[in-house]
Amino acid sequence: MADFPLAINLQGDYGYKVIVVDDQNTIEEVINTCVDQIAGVFVAPFPEKTVLRARIHGADEPLDNKLKVLDANFIQMEALQVYVEQAQ
């Protein structure tokens, strides 16, 4: 278990914020940490039951929510985007 900094842009925010997570956290836990620290401060809170996903900056596909940070082979300060998943 180790602290791992990520640069995360939460949908609606003006820029990236450094969020420190544990390298054993899943992407879902990273998203929750990000929302806990940013929503209601820099962006409006999301409505209940909003589904958020994360992807590496510039990627088209979302990351698997069960993927652990350590297993994703991120570099420190990897840029991630957290966004609202659109209903299909």
- Cα distance between the two ends of the chain: 37
Span 6-47, pLDDT tens digits: 999 999 999 999 999 999 999 999 999 999 999 988 999 999
Position 29 in a domain = yes
What residue numbers bound the domain in which 40 lies?
Answer: 17-50
What is the Cα Rg of the chain in Å? 12
Domain count, the chain: 1
Q: Is residue 6, in this structure, part of any structural domain at all?
A: no
At 1 the pLDDT is: 77
Residues in the chain: 88
Cα–Cα dist 25/38, whole Å: 18
- Per-residue pLDDT tens for 40-86? 889 999 999 999 999 999 999 999 999 999 999 999 999 999 999 98
- 47 SS3 class: coil
Evaluate whether 80 touches 55 at the Cβ level (below 8 Å).
yes
